[in-house]
Amino acid sequence: MKRLTTQSLMAAALAFCLLAAAPAPVPAADFIVVPPDASALDYRALVSNACSKCHGPTGNGISISPLFPILAAQQETYLEQQLKQLRQRERGDPHARAFMWGIARGLSDEQIEGVAQYFSSQPAARSSPLSDAALAQKGKEIYESPLQLESGAVNCANCHGLHGEGKSKQAIPRLAGQHPDYLNLQVHYYRWSLRISAIMNQVSAALTEDQIAAVTRYASSLSPAPKN
């Protein structure tokens, strides 16, 4: 199967946006994956019956398609936060609406905590080093250098960690080992205000397309030390 490119992912996202702008039937996710009584499932059954269909066929949290994020070794607090936002339909990006609104709507806090803990404890996906030295250097400079925003100076490394490991207490996601095309698309979702974050909405608007491509590819190539 031909690998999806960033351009094709963005084209698909734009198509979703156009559909979402007009009156539409209930999202397809309301009809798929999770049985009507999801509350009867424990987190292991949820992983097997729902999560593994998109986030890794063996339940390891390492998705094959860049449409779906790699969840293995992701920060547990971030996973909990996102699942609760999806349950409340607070994320309006097209893939969240299509795939996750229906899945998350009936989950209890206990189920969310179990799923988040499970994926966070899985071995991390192996990062792919950048073979393009110039692109790696450009991405590194963007990732580590202060970016001047209206609210002050920020940089990617301060929030997401020098090695892309993320931060647990602040529910900041791990970027290392993630699909670069997925990261690229999420930055655009923030730019288009389909995902809301006071910092990320500003950061995404301040970066050029070339800078987004470089920094997301660089961030995905990072390799943090294994969790203790």
Q: pLDDT category, 226, cuts 50, 70, 90?
A: confident
Cα–Cα distance for residue pair 57/62, rounded to 1 Å: 8
Q: Looking at the 3D structure of the chain, how many domains does it have?
A: 2
Structure tokens that stand for 53 in this block: 């269909």
Domain check: are 101 and 207 in the same one? Answer: no
Q: Given 70, 87, 120, which residue is the final one in a domain?
A: 120
- CA distances to 19, 43, 47, 63, 188 from 178, in Å: 28, 23, 19, 9, 16
pTM of the model: 0.84
Q: Given 120, 153, 186, which residue is the final one in a domain?
A: 120
Domain check: are 106 and 144 in the same one? Answer: no
Give per-residue pLDDT as tens, 122-166. Answer: 999 999 889 999 999 999 999 999 999 988 899 999 999 999 999
Domain check: are 104 and 30 in the same one? Answer: yes
Q: Are 216 and 187 in contact (CB under 8 A)?
A: yes
Domain check: are 180 and 111 in the same one? Answer: no
Q: pLDDT category, 17, cuts 50, 70, 90?
A: very low
Residue 160: CATH number of its domain = 1.10.760.10
Whether residue 34 has pLDDT greater than 90:
no
Strand partners, 207: none
Map the chain to HEC letters.
CCCCCHHHHHHHHHHHHHHHHCCCCCCHHHHCCCCCCHHHCCHHHHHHHHHHHHHCCCCCCCCCCCCCCCCCCCCHHHHHHHHHHHHCCCCCCHHHHHHHHHHHCCCCHHHHHHHHHHHHCCCCCCCCCCCCHHHHHHHHHHHHCCEEECCEEECHHHHHCCCCCCECCCCECCCCCCCHHHHHHHHHHHHCCCCCCHHHHHHHHHCCHHHHHHHHHHHHHCCCCCCC
Range of the domain at 208: 133-221
Q: Are 35 and 49 in contact (CB under 8 A)?
A: yes
Structure tokens that stand for 175 in this block: 């970027």
Q: Given 92, 120, 148, which residue is the final one in a domain?
A: 120
